[in-house]
Amino acid sequence: MIIRKCNHNSDIAIYRNTKPNMIKTIQMEDGSLKSLSYPDAKDYFLLVNGEIVKQSDSFQTIEKEYIKEVKDNAYETHGHYDLVKHKLVANKIRLK
Interior angle at CA 96, CA 82 and CA 5, nearest 5: 60
Give the pLDDT of residue 76: 62
* Whole-number average pLDDT of the chain: 82
Using DSSP, state whether 13 is helix, strand or coil.
strand
Question: What is this structure's pTM?
Answer: 0.76
**Structural domain spans, the chain:** 2-95
Residue 75 clears pLDDT 80, i.e. is over it: no
Residue 56 clears pLDDT 70, i.e. is over it: yes
- Better-predicted residue by pLDDT, 18 or 75: 18
Residue 62 clears pLDDT 70, i.e. is over it: yes
Give the pLDDT of residue 93: 60
Separation of first and last alpha carbons in the chain:
24
Read off the pLDDT of residues 6-51 as tens digits, 9 standing for 90 and up.
777 778 889 999 999 999 998 887 888 999 999 999 999 999 988 9
